[in-house]
Amino acid sequence: MSNEVAEDIQPAGSPPPVVDQGAPRRAETRAETRAETPGNTVTMSMQQALNRALTETLEENPKTLVFGEDVGRLGGVFRITDGLQQKFGADRVFDTPLAESGILGMSVGLAMAGWHSIPEVQFDGFAYPATNQIISQIGRMNYRSRGTMPMPITLRVPSFGGIRAPEHHGESLEALFAHVPGLKVVSPSSPHEAYHQLKYAATRPDPVMFMEPKSRYWQKGTVDLDNAGTRTGAAVVREGKHATLVAWGAMVSRCLQVAELAAEDGVELEVLDMRWLKPIDASALAASVSRTRRAVVVHEAPRTSGLGAEVASTVTEQCFKTLKAPVERVTGFDVPYPSGDLEDEYIPNIDRILFGVQRVLEYRRG
């Protein structure tokens, strides 16, 4: 896993593309992939991995539907659903009117009629108008109906920042969703994870908020198509003994980058990709931090009541006796997500993560 990381990192200082230019034209999408090697390992971007997962899901389960704004003819603004409508028809893959509450509210009724919906909200911040349906309906219908009306809904949310996008296009909603009873939350960090986690989520009987790190859509990595590995819980993506970096989504590759740099100074950092943010994998956190005895949690979301607090609390409960330092949080700030010019100041960067590592390493009691 860690071998692919070095080339998986965006060069520092190179500005990510703006939204409209970020999505490649259809011909380019097709040209890139399909370099399948004997071990059935493929090199592809996360966009391609997600597209492939959706294709296979639609093939394997005739009761699945893909819909949302511009996901049909256009293939989605990020081209994640590229070509799906052509392949599966406008009944299975369709454009909805431009209303997120409508999209999610409709998913509830579709679930009652026996369909597994895989809707897309075009950008993270566009989920806000749908929160009433997500929180008051999707999260509760299984409960309200005493288990007779499951909500197999896999909501794809292009998430987090890093692409110089307009306002409400760089939000981190994981703590909001994780706080809602009845919802599950997952965020893939790599093409391999994206492919397998989406296929897995799309077969679950419960609602899953699938948070795709949009800044990673165009980064390539190897996907082992046949070997998913464990699909639930967290995964150690780099082993180390001095401290554990805990991250998810786009911050995983950044933490791996930090670990590379720290290794040059003889500091061996473990990197734990949380993957599932609800349910959170308490035993994986405990296993890692009980070895390293120090933890730094990194996320893009604002700090206050972010999932970093949940991680810190879990680690404290599980590893209190052996912890060498309080759990550090390196996070976004408690400010509205800033304009593109300032987003590199907001998103945890390598220096800030290294400072966090330094603080847990240098912490002395009393």
Residues that bind another protein (CB under 8 A): 65, 91, 96-97, 99, 101-102, 105-115, 132-133, 136-137, 141-150, 181-182, 184, 204-206, 278-280, 282-283
d(CA 164, CA 286): 36
Catalytic residue check, 169: yes
Q: Which is nearer to another protein, 17 or 150 (CB)?
A: 150
Length of the chain: 366
Q: Which is nearer to another protein, 228 or 282 (CB)?
A: 282
Question: Which tokens go with 149?
Answer: 């009306």
Q: Which is nearer to another protein, 11 or 147 (CB)?
A: 147
3-state helix, strand, coil in the chain (%, to 5): 40, 20, 40
CB of 20 to another protein, least distance (A): 26
**Radius of gyration of the chain measured on its C-alpha atoms:** 20
Query: Where does residue 328 rank: exposed (0-12), middle (13-18), buried (19+ CB within 10 A)?
Result: buried
d(CA 293, CA 286): 10
CB of 119 to another protein, least distance (A): 10
DSSP 8-state class, residue 306: S
CB of 313 to another protein, least distance (A): 12
Closest among 98, 137, 90, 140 to 121, alpha carbons compared: 98
d(CA 256, CA 365): 28
DSSP 8-state class, residue 268: -
From its phi and psi, is residue 79 left (phi > 0), alpha (psi between -120 and 50) or beta?
left
Q: Which is nearer to another protein, 184 or 294 (CB)?
A: 184
Q: Which is nearer to another protein, 104 or 198 (CB)?
A: 104
d(CA 184, CA 201): 9
Q: Which is nearer to another protein, 107 or 189 (CB)?
A: 107
CB of 170 to another protein, least distance (A): 25
Dmax over Cα atoms in the chain, in whole Å?
Answer: 66
Catalytic residue among 116, 169, 196, 299: 169
Q: Is the distance from CB of 268 to CB of 221 less than 8 angstroms? A: no
Q: Which is nearer to another protein, 103 or 251 (CB)?
A: 103
Would you name the residues annotated as active-site residues? Answer: 169
